[in-house]
Amino acid sequence: MKPIEVSMPPGIMKVGDKTYAVAGDWIEIPNGTTLTTLHNYVVFKRPVPPRTNEYKAEGSKGATYIIQHNVEKDVWSCSCPASKYRRMVCKHIKKIQNATR
């Protein structure tokens, strides 16, 4: 049997006469399985973080804001209040987008 890949570190839980690997889902495993033999049934595969580019932009009052661009999803975010609370494309993002095109 090929081990099941999970996206969070697994633990072992015994309920009644059954044993489970718990890693987001409950996966039934043989009784007597220990943490040292758990890898035979469940393997933790660490998620790969998205590739992002990070920029800095100065605000109109001198504050420095961080602009992030998730390259894979083409999603932009900025740490300024306009972007954070109004959920809009702010002038800092527009400035960086124009400069990188």
Q: Which residues contact 53 (CB under 8 A, 6 or more apart)?
A: 68, 69, 71
The per-residue pLDDT for 77 is 93
pLDDT by residue (tens digit) across 3-44?
999 989 999 999 999 999 999 899 999 999 999 999 999 999
In this structure, how many other beta carbons lie within 10 angstroms of the beta carbon of residue 55? 18
pTM of the predicted structure, to 2 decimals: 0.54
The per-residue pLDDT for 88 is 79
> Could you tell me the residue ranges of all domains in the chain?
4-44, 52-100
Q: Please tell me whether residue 62 adopts helix, strand or coil conformation.
A: coil
